[in-house]
């Protein structure tokens, strides 16, 4: 046993202020089991006491794609080239859904978990991380249905081609998850004090979808609305979705510049989000 009272041998210290930037990765690693259990909880509790169970994951993107196909392609006449419009929309929506799920799931981290956070300490970042990971599973299921339709259309004789860049598709999804996580953490921190952001996020995401090239190719907006094209061009999400479609369906274009810009924004947003999140986690319980 130690019985020397030198001030240096303390295991840790609880102080009013966090260091400017402190993500204790070692601590997060110690809690990896908790992360996995949270993911497991999120996944299994969604199906409990529903008749259709995981099918709900599939119904939403399918119906949205059908609606989009009718409105944007059949009525408004947006041209998707050689790709069947339904598949075009399904690809966009599947990828877009992962982003919104990450963003909405993480953006009320503090508010939704106030009961647990008020009673016990664990690295708070575990909670938004678990949201991003469990949504990845959900994304996987939705992606399977995309593959199903892809094969279906392929045998129908549609002109479909995978691009060799498909190997980078997982990286693209990770980037999207990190962007959603970063933005979500930023908003979750602000929601603790100003509830206004909860209202903002609801319709904000809807508006953002129209600016993210989900149901139209990026080139289209440049042609038809040259004055407002920059709105889409400055949106990193548009590049991700456009690139995803390029990889999966071989339509549209890939802009290296746009992707570099997206990557830079993602990294910046993630670190700002982490910073604000860390600052908030110490005393949010007094304001939430």
Partner 1 sequence: MKKDIILKAENISKQYRLGQVGTGTLSHDINRWWHKIRGKENPYLKIGETNDRSTKGTSDYVWALQDINFEVERGEVLGIIGKNGAGKSTLLKILSKVTAPTTGSIKSRGRIASLLEVGTGFNGEMTGRENIFLNGAILGMTKKEISSKLDEIIEFSGCERYIDTPVKRYSSGMTVRLAFAVAAFLEPEILVIDEVLAVGDAEFQKKAIGKMQDISREGGRTVLFVSHNMAAVKSLCTRGIVLENGNIKCQGDIDYIIEEYFNEIQVVNDGTRIKTIDNPLSSFNKWFIKDRNSFDIASDEKLKICFEFTSKENLRNCELGFVIRNFEGKILLGCNSRDFGGDYFNIKNGTYIFNFELSLPVIDGKYEIDISLVSNNNIIDHWVSETNLIVKNKFDSVLDKKWRGELNLKTYFRYDEIS
The binding site for partner 1 (CB under 8 A) comprises: 1-5, 9-17, 30-31, 33-34, 36-38, 40-41, 44-45, 48-49, 115-122, 193-195, 282-283, 285-287
Angle of helix 169-193 versus helix 196-210 axis, rounded to 10: 150
CB 32 → partner 1: shortest distance, Å? 8
CB nearer to partner 1: pick between 66 and 116: 116
CB nearer to partner 1: pick between 80 and 188: 188
Burial (Cβ within 10 Å: 0-12, 13-18, ≥19) of residue 216: buried
Residue recorded with tokens 């690693």: 29
Dist CA 165 CA 244 (whole Å): 9
Distances (CA, A) of 120 to 37, 106, 117, 229, 274: 16, 19, 6, 48, 21
CB nearer to partner 1: pick between 11 and 207: 11
CB 70 → partner 1: shortest distance, Å? 37
CB 272 → partner 1: shortest distance, Å? 17
CB nearer to partner 1: pick between 117 and 143: 117
Dist CA 36 CA 129 (whole Å): 10
CB nearer to partner 1: pick between 223 and 286: 286
CB 150 → partner 1: shortest distance, Å? 34
CB 113 → partner 1: shortest distance, Å? 9
Dist CA 48 CA 108 (whole Å): 22
CB 288 → partner 1: shortest distance, Å? 9
Q: Residues 137, 112: contact at Cβ < 8 Å?
A: no
CB 176 → partner 1: shortest distance, Å? 28
CB nearer to partner 1: pick between 18 and 163: 18
Distances (CA, A) of 79 to 83, 126, 136, 191: 9, 43, 30, 40
CB nearer to partner 1: pick between 80 and 192: 192
**Cα 43–48–51 angle (5° rounding)?**
120
Nearest C-alpha neighbor of 234 from the set 208, 215, 270? 208
């Amino acid at each position: 046993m130690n019985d020397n009272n030198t001030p240096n041998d303390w295991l840790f210290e609880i102080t009013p202020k966090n260091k400017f930037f402190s993500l204790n990765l070692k601590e997060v690693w110690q809690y990896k089991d908790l992360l996995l259990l949270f993911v497991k909880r999120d996944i299994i509790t969604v199906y409990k006491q529903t008749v259709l169970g995981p099918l709900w994951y599939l119904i939403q993107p399918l119906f949205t794609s059908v609606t989009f196909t009718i409105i944007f392609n059949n009525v408004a006449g947006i041209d998707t080239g050689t790709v069947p419009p339904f598949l075009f929309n399904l690809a966009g929506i599947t990828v877009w859904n992962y982003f919104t799920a990450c963003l909405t799931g993480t953006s009320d981290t503090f508010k939704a978990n106030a009961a647990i956070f008020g009673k016990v300490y664990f690295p708070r970042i575990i909670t938004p991380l678990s949201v991003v990971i469990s949504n990845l599973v959900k994304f996987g299921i939705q992606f399977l249905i995309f593959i199903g339709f892809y094969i279906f259309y392929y045998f129908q004789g549609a002109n479909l081609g995978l691009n060799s860049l498909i190997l980078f598709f997982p990286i693209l999804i990770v980037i999207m998850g990190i962007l959603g996580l970063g933005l979500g953490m930023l908003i979750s921190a602000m929601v603790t004090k100003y509830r206004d952001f909860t209202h903002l996020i609801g319709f904000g995401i809807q508006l953002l979808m129209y600016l993210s090239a989900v149901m139209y190719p990026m080139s289209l907006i440049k042609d038809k609305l040259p004055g407002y094209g920059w709105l889409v061009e400055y949106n990193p999400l548009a590049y991700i979705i456009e690139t995803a479609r390029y990889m999966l369906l071989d339509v549209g274009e890939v802009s290296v510049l746009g992707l570099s810009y997206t990557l830079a924004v993602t990294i910046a947003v993630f670190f700002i989000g982490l910073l604000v999140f860390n600052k908030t986690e110490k005393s949010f319980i007094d304001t939430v």
